[in-house]
Amino acid sequence: MKKNNKLKKLLNTIRNNWRIAVVVVVLTTISGYLLSAYGIEKHYITTFDVMVTDESGKPDPVSATTAALLFKSPNIYNEMNEGLQVRFSYREYEEMIKISQEGGTGILRAEIDMSTAENSCKLAEIYLRAMPEVLSGYIENAGITVVSSPKMPEAPVFPNDMLFVAIGFGAGLIISVIGILIIWKLDNTITSADNLTEEYNIPVLGELMDFDREIDYLGR
């Protein structure tokens, strides 16, 4: 009987507070979307692949690896600043531009990470145009073959709006469940004669009937 009373009390708590729970879920879901759309800096990544070759025309992994480390040259940074019409520091460019090498192939992949798709693609194009001139000072007769060209990213890689909406929705559900359980645990309302006897060990001599409820139930 005690378990039945607790279950009835929990169901009664849910019935009395479900509207608040719904509001909490809706607000956290909206907050998740707003945070993703306006509260977090977006990251658009443009990629392109190039093959670096030496004067013999053959891929040289050593030259490619060296080339990946040579983009700290002031020449290329100046050209990028002029093309974007802004001035970023060397450290900022190092964070925006990542170079990786496919082992043993001589192919370099550049990833340009910026807060707008337009600037990301524009910087990638400037970077690609500047590579031959920069490499020529370090690799004799360096050749660059474009394997894949930069393309405008269609959506940011981070944040993902749907992911943040789902997180907001899940957080709202968790908060609502925890809130209802806390209210249920703190609620010391007596809901039945059995509940009074179990909680306080007080004998019940009689129970008044709820005539309004009975009349509604009987339909008269």
102-122 exposure pattern, b = at least 16 Cβ within 10 A, e = fewer: eeeebbbbbbbbbeebebbbb
What percent of the chain is modeled with pLDDT above 90? 38
Is residue 168 exposed (0-12), middle (13-18) or buried (19+ Cβ within 10 Å)? buried
Q: What residues have CB less than 8 Å from 164, skipping those under 6 apart?
A: 32, 33, 35, 36
| Percentage of the chain modeled with pLDDT above 70 | 71
Query: pTM, whole model, 2 decimals?
Result: 0.70
Amino acid at 66: T
Over residues 108-130, mean pLDDT: 90
Q: What is the mean pLDDT of residues 130-154?
A: 82
Residue 211 has pLDDT above 90, yes or no: no
Instruction: Work out the average pLDDT over 28-56.
Output: 90
Q: Is the dihedral angle over the CA atoms 179, 180, 183, 185 positive or is it negative? A: negative
1 band by pLDDT with thresholds 50, 70 and 90 = very low
Is residue 142 scored above 80 in pLDDT? Answer: no
Residue 217 has pLDDT above 50, yes or no: no
Query: Residue 145's closest CA among 106, 111, 113, 99?
Result: 106
Query: Which one has a higher pLDDT value, 46 or 52?
Result: 46
Range 177-189 average pLDDT? 86
Q: Which amino acid is at 210?
A: D
For residues 35-51, average pLDDT: 92
Query: What kind and span of H or E run contains 85?
Result: none
DSSP 116-127: SHHHHHHHHHHH
24 or 199, which is more confident: 24
Least-confidence region, from 31-35, 90-94, 167-171: 90-94
Task: Please determine, for residue 150, whether its predicted confidence score (pLDDT) is greater than 70.
Answer: yes
Local confidence band at 148 (pLDDT 50, 70, 90 cut-offs): very high
Better-predicted residue by pLDDT, 199 or 119: 119
- Segment 18-26 mean pLDDT: 95
Tokens of 28: 């956290």
- Residue 84 tokens, joined: 């974007």
